[in-house]
Structure 1
Amino acid sequence: EKSSHLSAALLGEDCEISPEQLYELLQYAALGKHHNAAQPSWCHIYHQSRLAGVVVIVLHEMSQLHFYKFYLQFKHLRKVFRHRFTLPPPSANFLASLCGEGSGLNPQGTAPGLISTGAECIPKSSGLQCDPIIRKYGKEKRGLTSYTLTSEELRKNDYPMRDSPGCKGYMYTECDLQRTDSSPLFGLDCEMCLTARGNEVVRVSLVDAEGQCLLNELVKPESVIVNYCTRYSGVTRKMLLPVKTRLPDIQTRLKKILPHDAVLVGHSLNADLQALQMIHPSVIDTSLLFARNEGRRFKLKFLAKAVLGKEIQCKQRLGHDPAEDARAALELAQFFIKKGPVKILQRALKDVPLSTFSIIQFSLDPEYVASHRLVGFCEKVRNKLTDMLTIYAGPFEEDFCLKSVKKEFGKCGPIQSLTVVTETYQPYVCIQYGVLEAAQLAVESLNGAEVAGSCVKVQRPITAATLDCDVLIKELELDIENEGVIYVAGIKKSLTETDLQEEFSPLKDLETLFLPKDLQSGKHSTCCFLKFQKSQSAADALEAINGWAVKGSTLRSRHALASGHLWRWIWQMNHSSEKQGGNSLSEKMAPLSDSITASHLGTSLNRDILHKKELSAAVSSIATPQQLVMVPAAGGSVVLLHDNTFIISQGEKTGSDVLSAAQDGTKHHIFYQKKKYTDSTASGGFLMLFKGK
């Protein structure tokens, strides 16, 4: 049987979707074409009718930052969720917009049958025969004993039982009399707070079959209260101050009130009985009575509105009223018993589907998302990304050509910065790439290769953040989101997207081409990503493209590592950081500049003899004309004139001496001493670097 699935040919910049596009997706997923909902404009849902349900989980203060920080730990999430999209920062009424309310969305445009109740959005269903309520209870009306939980159901749903190991010390109600269809019903509900021991009862309500409140008490927990959970319990510290009632008092009173054939009714009553530490053998649980597929349950608030037409748990009230909730659960059970399953579905639950649409919210405590902690968290992720984008290559000969190195490593992808490392005996080069694939391609293809006349070793820096780099690279490569996607480097900047489409058109099953662009300048990069319909087609293309020449440029390729939305996310993270005055990833990856070459040249003065050839190479590598750079240099000065003549002064010579000698401008003046300079003799030295047009 064909399963429901989503097909979205989204790659790169198009991975950002708007709240309106998200609403399109959720609306069609929940309703389908039978309820006049249209397919989303930006993707396609196949076999919508086979969807078991739609669940939206909203994690406040969470972002892609957290996903990539704990990427390896989220193995199950990465496997299950094939498609991931970027959303812009949500508005204050984000949840309302998902239900088709506010945020510029037209509620009247909602397809018929969509009910928005904050937590549930329910479309119409068809065919009573398939409904789980009919499958469980049949079509005929029955007495209340048919709806009480069996011993097996009690155990399965974590109800406290006499033979359960974790229920030692629980009080038994001793209601052992045989139940009949005329046994009395009692509604029970508790509110809890969080203590050092876990959830403990802080308020209890019991109502009889007529809705009269028999018990409505505040309870002082035994352990220290960590969180009053006032939003739900409605209880504050001030309210509990005068309270003397303890849990054993409540247990005794409940046991005394309940007759021996009492049937307790509640919504997810197992949690209440566990908190009360009481065992009762006969229970009707309304969260299980109104059955849904695969264990899903309706909220009490929704059932009260849909079945009874009552509003409970109103936002204006502080917390829940346990007496109101107990009464609502009791009335739901009475209505179900009186009307029977068929009437419940035909009248009260005519809008309830086989598949549900639920929104679940999680939020973090303010202490957890304190700005300074979040900044530190961002910095850690940036540092790890920077380390993964960085490689070191070397050693090189002292007179190596920097341009040749840049050209060779540039074939692997866009270079953000290139610096010469001279703290080592022989020079090394530090290269920071703009994409993960480029850095990995350089490690794989250039390690052990001959570059600029030297056989070089290519490796990433060894830091705490890169210790698991190999594992992370492998997981990124196997990520389901990168399935059928390959990375191609060596694209000339003069080529347009149309040119590339034409060049790659012979490749079988090519679905999408993504040419990354700088979000500020709009210029495209020297690499691209190709997405194929089948993994095998991607593998075949990978083999064909390596060494492929396009407009005089040789291409290199490998499997993709980073999904398209990572590009935009890194840019936005940097952009946000710059606005706040922080250090961005791009700041850590400074572009190739004259000052970098100058630093290398200055350090070179420490050697016994300075080679003219090396100076000439350094001069020719300066990219920007008419740029003057002045940096400290060990024991001397260098002036490079517009005609590429240069003057070097070492030892006792001063800057004035050097400039004086430069008046000539027609000769190479070289002053050096054949000895190693120490820090003391190097003091006061400087380097001036100038290149004309």
Structure 2
Amino acid sequence: MVKAVCVNGLKRPAEGAGGRQAARKRRRAAGGGREPGPEEKSSCLSAALFGEDCEISRDQLYELLKFAALGKCHSAAQPSWCRIYRQSHLAGVVVIVLPEMSQLHFYQFYLQFRHLRKVFRHRFTLTPSANFLASLYGEGANPKPQNTAQGLTSTSSKSSDLKCDPIFQKYGGKKRGLTSYILTSEELNKYDYPIKGSTRWKGYVCTGCDKQRTDSSPLFGLDCEMCLTAKGNEVTYVSLVDARGQCLLNELVKPQSEVVNYRTSFSGITEEMLLPVKTSLSDIQTRLKKILPRDAVLVGHSLNNDLQALEVAELNLEMLLKAENLAEVSKKKDALQPQGCRVQQQLNEPPRLSKPCFLLSASFLECLQVTGQNPLLLGRQELDSSGLCQSNLSTSNKQILQKALEDVPLSTFSIIQFSLGPENISSRLLAELCEKVGSKLTDMLTIYAGPFEENFRLKSVKKKFGKCGPIQCLTVVTETYQPYVCIQYEVLEAAQLAVESLNGAEVAGSCIKVQRPVTAAMLDCDVLIKELELDVENEGVIYVAGLKQSVTEKDLQEEFSQLKDLEMLFLPKDLQSAKHRNCCFLKFQKSQSAVDALEVINGWTLKGSKLRSRNALASGHLWRWIRQMNHSNGKQRGNIFYKKMQQLPDSEQDLKKKVKKLDNHIQKLYRSLQNNTLCVVLFPGVNSTYGSQSGLGLMGIKGDRGRSAC
């Protein structure tokens, strides 16, 4: 299995003044906004996406969005595949979806997507799905747009799951004020909540929350973990957050009596964790009284048990907020914990032995609403049918953009859907795009070398050109006066390295020319190569060729560990034989370190083989995609459908203009965002009768100054 290997313990030199100035210019050009001052704390994103580790599942994407929107205070764990630093400082989350588009579209119109490819620091591959939005949000979303005489209109019908939901059966689907959910005195008695003045709760501390509750009363999420002691259930952990998700209390508590059972499998609390703890229950009670205002409303799951353990009374301020009823619904959901869903499930919980819980769509959106974060959904399709979210329908990308510019600043979580229109994303167009991209990719991987003498040795040519990188096939061209050799590589860097280093060289006794095929599609090849080199994903990444088969991954780590600022190493391997492909990629933390490494590595000898290197052209996700496309090109070209393809209604030039305009829309929206906004652009991928195409994700935090800021 191919892996990207981190190289640790390397010294990171200070960046020069010139490098800092250049970085500032790039950020201003990309973001269009102000740059955070030195005293301003900002969020930043670190994603170890390199080599073949760039494929991200729908669950992992959902994991990222959930943590970015809700944070640790809502049981959302840091994503397993990347890390958001200072999530609480995020100004918002914006997801831009381009339906029915894939990696194929992005690289076919690579030059037109100028803004997308220059701004977003991280890219990843997505596997296509039949219903992207449903898979992204879980089972709660069921988009069903309808056509009418006036165009597309939204429907407010509930899904079958929601119709059976006891919450909707009791409260209905319309929005209600906060006071509608607060427990009555009868319900407090029924569920054994501690009440002031009752002899049963004698000795309990009163909160002092005696003010009348209104629909604007402040919400606070409370959660406790208990262990079993000689006294009974005693608190070992307390967490309190406000409606914005800000953590107000996050403390381990020392039990008064001897612990009989820590209940680690449920609470995550261990004996070692409590050894240094000195905070007592009375300390927690005092802090709660100071924090909670007189009209506070608590939200949680099984609050009666938590407050009994806290020995806190006067519970007319409590509300279940669907906790008891959601427990019934959640039993049907494998993704939820057995106790059921609550608004903040295990708030700010300590590490657990069990797998992290991922809330499904409805729970995710409910959490956003309860904490005051109203999700914004804009697009040509109805994105949500649950009635829980603000859903808007527009008929053009321009209308969507105008609405987004108005409403996105008012929402902390937004999904904006732009589309090229059904006439431009049909299966027929997909087939033609696949053919064009495959043909151009093959031409970019192919070079012609010659002329050679009649009796030249093909083995000598293969050995010479093989030092530039892995060769897929090599054939002799005999239609010319003197023989030429057609060489098709597996990676773009190898073909470009051969053109740059072997043109005019003496090979097999002949002074040869090296060039790419001359076709209409290749006229902009030099421009494309230059743009790929400058791609933000390729900053600090270099390609190294000329490795002997006897060289191991360990050898490379030891050999290159002396290079300054080396972060990761990627050694591509054949999936069947598991042998490496005689080349590798090195990723550096700073661009200048990569430039310095190029000078050192060129001419470097490793186990008797002279190494060659150049700047990377294909990032990790693209390297994998190129291999897949290259492997399937032969089958696609043999299909009679391609040979009989008729001209599409819109010319390719018109389609390029539409893509360019789409890129401009995204640029305008991005520039309007506040700094510290996480922005994710998704090409969901395509499943059609002509095959499936992988999706593509681009992400970044506006104003993120890169790894050094983390």
Q: Using structure 2 for the length normalisation, give the TM-score.
A: 0.48
Which structure has the larger Rg?
1
Q: Using structure 1 for the length normalisation, give the TM-score.
A: 0.49
